[in-house]
Structure 1
């Protein structure tokens, strides 16, 4: 346990959190850096996600849809930014407009969806959408819509010191290494139970695990499957596992030969043994994928099952496509930010190699390979994708990842029937009807082999035994909260 929390349990001590992702965009709120700042207990949005995925009040006390394309949010009374400035409608509008005007807008909140933001009065904000969008409240719970004080945007880069509203305020930053935090004694949600905290950016999963084992860190996020065996016998560490809406997929470039042929893509589906991958590479903490969504989700097709591991079927499909498997070779991108991907790529290489297909593996960190992936300069790529991370309903993910003009459509999958169903889902207010549509889309993506869906992942967090009040969240948006305490009793 961290030094200030030892010797009898100082409930106002110092907590160290080992974070798996280092900020890569100078804290731009429209980027994934917003998730890091949310986990650090600094950044908050108008709404927040509950564990079941539904939105709950946060900086906004209530919200309502006033027209088919307009929603109003009533701000919570008396909230101040950590620098003492009022969190009023003008500040909220400035923060949200900054995200809308970004060169690379957020996937959840961008001009394709949101047509404008305005202050109705000092405590009411109206968000307008270009077309009716039933997911707007969920968009307002995403970290990318987090609210920072006007001072945050005054300089050449985002200033995160004193400009948040959360239970912890940033007092020092060592770029790409750590954040030093202290509790916000004026936090609107109540006094935090920890006096100071540190967020350490440690991309290497084994290094995060070591820090918890030695007591240098109290919480380590995203424990890799390969490290589970070393932790499970440690009485001083609790492994908290939660099913997370995240699927590992081998994306196939749908517009580059040979994967522009759906028969070849389907052959790859049957060439990979997802059950063996879940049991070995993921040490049993993942489940074989039945498509883009987990089996127990309400938007998963009834009776969905993993694609069968069947090399005879693969050969038959390749024969129907007029393709000799021995003539096939492709490069598979496996970024090393996900420790499992090195072993996963090697297993895929070996399994499809039995058909005569040659696979060359390209490694590197995600930042180095993403430009080629987004631009379509690749054959195949492994991706761990959270389908509720951008918006807490899969329709948002389906639009960004699998619509013809999707902002994150790395697979370059494009099908007019799928687009029509996605657009219908985005305007269907009845959840059951929307989930039925999403299930149909999921079934079509599996049938079209838009990608090879491999496993549904779990989130594993290692927590020292002296930490109290930590609750793992399926979306992994919240770690340092006001409820954390150190010590016994």
Structure 2
């Protein structure tokens, strides 16, 4: 059976199940995304769509609410009893989906699991030195030093049942990138509002309501049926025919069609994810006619490539007026953003040519351009447009568009010259995310997403200060200064913030948040 057949079969089965459940008055939400969740193990990857889905099964000590503010979850309160000792009071009376009680032992085991050297999510809890049980409902997180955003990190660290992990030999996390799996990849045992009923990779994942959830439910769902459907046309057709209730993303070119249809509507909102172009700044290019030089090491060349891109044309023609052009690497809601710096240089091919000539590349050059073909909104179309725009200044971009997995394998392996990446600053929701991951010189835990090996000593020094500064005003000013340095040096070429674009059937109510993660414990079906 082909993947397409399995996906269509999954939708048909979901529709039939819904019809049968509907007779009993159940509220089933049938939803589809463009890709499948990677695994049920919440410590096995950092992929945002997967983490967003698993938020319905697993919970952390704290969570982001609809306004992206940190609020209590499995912890009811916290305080620094010492400068590097953060004490959490745990919620009493919480049970895991298998009925086991939630205690401090589960927190200790889960945080140690997430921070283990083999864990793919260890960078999401960078300041943790150790974790200690005080009593059954109290835990101390010991930090390596001051950490002003430790709570932000913890929104992305889910708590698993220690006994369940021990019974199923899953005390260490899976690593989906490294091909290491365990029982938690296809099974789960969380404390969240929904319980995993079944999991068929690439076909269907079904959740049922957790009637014993500790929180006050604001949703009225009884069941969630999730299907991965990569084809935009198939996803839209299933929504408009009534086979699906909720799709994400909704292709921008189909928004008007959805809104004109009988029984469906689009949800469009500003989003955090900034789409950008990273650049190889090592000694040599990988895909070029130049064998003994790398023009991308010259700031003037990087500026020329930036000025050659007509972002207003891309916004109008490709993004249907729904994106937000950006001169900075973070979106407006992110601390450190400054509107005064967010001034995009006008597209100017002649200025770009002059900069290339000044840098000694007046005759142009060839360069590789790597883009995913289904990870970001209209990603391949954007790269095709940029290829054409660069050709006007004498730069031939050898475009390679691949599936997201192959794209990021090549990028993170250091095999790209210019590459597209999107960054939402999550779970930090802070400019430090960009500074530490994308801009810092690679080394240890820093620069994990800097395969082009951009290096700036001034930025590195600011990043180190931002990491430990507890004064909010001083810290924000330093992050703003760092963003200006990155902009002026054209360390990375920012393009735009892509929009959140979902679509629902009439009567389905799902609040949107800028992190592009549906919080279905707030969803209702009329």
Is residue 137 of structure 2 the alignment partner of residue 137 of structure 1? no
Partner of 1:331: helix, strand, or coil? strand
Whole-angstrom CA distance in 1 between matches of 2:22 and 2:204: 27
1:294 matched to which residue of 2?
331
1:173 matched to which residue of 2?
199
- Assess, with a 3 A threshold, how the Cα gap between structure 1 residues 146 and 331 changes in structure 2: closer, same or farther: same
Indicate which of 368, 374, 378 corresponds to 1:331.
368
- Assess, with a 3 A threshold, how the Cα gap between structure 1 residues 9 and 226 changes in structure 2: closer, same or farther: farther
Indicate which of 101, 118, 132 corresponds to 1:86.
101
Alpha carbons 2:39, 2:50 under 8 Å: kept: no
Indicate which of 243, 264, 270 corresponds to 1:237.
264
Indicate which of 250, 253, 257 corresponds to 2:277.
250
1:105 matched to which residue of 2?
120
Alignment of 1:194-343 (within 5 A): 194-255=221-282, 256=284, 257-295=294-332, 297-303=334-340, 304-326=342-364, 328-337=365-374, 338=376, 340-343=378-381
Partner of 1:360: helix, strand, or coil? strand
**Per-residue deviation at 1:34?**
7.2
**Per-residue deviation at 1:159?**
5.2
**Per-residue deviation at 1:432?**
2.8
Q: Residues 290-320 of structure 1, C-alpha deviation per residue, up to 9 Å, x if partnerless?
A: 2112356552234221122111221221122
Whole-angstrom CA distance in 2 between matches of 1:262 and 1:373: 21
- Assess, with a 3 A threshold, how the Cα gap between structure 1 residues 407 and 78 changes in structure 2: closer, same or farther: same
Indicate which of 29, 32, 36 corresponds to 1:22.
36
Whole-angstrom CA distance in 1 between matches of 2:115 and 2:22: 49
1:50 matched to which residue of 2?
65
**Which structure is higher in RCO with an 8 Å CA cutoff and minimum separation 6?**
1
Partner of 1:199: helix, strand, or coil? strand
Indicate which of 147, 170, 179 corresponds to 2:159.
147
Indicate which of 430, 434, 448 corresponds to 1:407.
448
Whole-angstrom CA distance in 1 between matches of 2:60 and 2:453: 31
Deviates more, 1:66-75 or 1:86-95: 66-75
Whole-angstrom CA distance in 2 between matches of 1:426 and 1:10: 53
Whole-angstrom CA distance in 2 between matches of 1:295 and 1:57: 25
Whole-angstrom CA distance in 2 between matches of 1:52 and 1:432: 21
Indicate which of 470, 475, 484 corresponds to 2:515.
475
**Per-residue deviation at 1:19?**
2.4
Whole-angstrom CA distance in 1 between matches of 2:281 and 2:434: 18
Q: Residues 459-482 of structure 1, C-alpha deviation per residue, up to 9 Å, x if partnerless?
A: 1111111213x211211334331x
- Assess, with a 3 A threshold, how the Cα gap between structure 1 residues 370 and 297 changes in structure 2: closer, same or farther: closer
Whole-angstrom CA distance in 1 between matches of 2:139 and 2:21: 48
Is residue 457 of structure 2 the alignment partner of residue 419 of structure 1? no
What TM-score results when the alignment is normalised by the length of structure 1?
0.91
Unaligned 5+ runs, structure 1: none
Alpha carbons 2:334, 2:430 under 8 Å: kept: no
Alpha carbons 1:301, 1:440 under 8 Å: kept: no
- Assess, with a 3 A threshold, how the Cα gap between structure 1 residues 196 and 228 changes in structure 2: closer, same or farther: same
1:62 matched to which residue of 2?
77
Alpha carbons 1:274, 1:309 under 8 Å: kept: yes
**Per-residue deviation at 1:380?**
0.7
**Per-residue deviation at 1:456?**
1.4
2:136 matched to which residue of 1?
122
Alpha carbons 1:90, 1:122 under 8 Å: kept: yes
Paired residue total = 480
2:290 matched to which residue of 1?
none
Alignment of 1:333-482 (within 5 A): 333-337=370-374, 338=376, 340-387=378-425, 389-405=426-442, 406-468=447-509, 470-481=510-521
Alpha carbons 1:91, 1:149 under 8 Å: kept: yes
Partner of 2:498: helix, strand, or coil? strand
**Per-residue deviation at 1:46?**
1.1
What TM-score results when the alignment is normalised by the length of structure 2?
0.85
Whole-angstrom CA distance in 2 between matches of 1:135 and 1:371: 29
Partner of 1:185: helix, strand, or coil? coil
- Assess, with a 3 A threshold, how the Cα gap between structure 1 residues 421 and 9 changes in structure 2: closer, same or farther: farther
Instruction: Give the 4+ runs in structure 1 shifted more than 6 A.
Output: 5-11
Alignment of 1:159-170 (within 5 A): 161=187, 163-170=189-196
Q: Residues 134-168 of structure 1, C-alpha deviation per residue, up to 9 Å, x if partnerless?
A: 110111112xx011222246243315645011111
Indicate which of 190, 206, 220 corresponds to 1:193.
220
- Assess, with a 3 A threshold, how the Cα gap between structure 1 residues 246 and 114 changes in structure 2: closer, same or farther: same
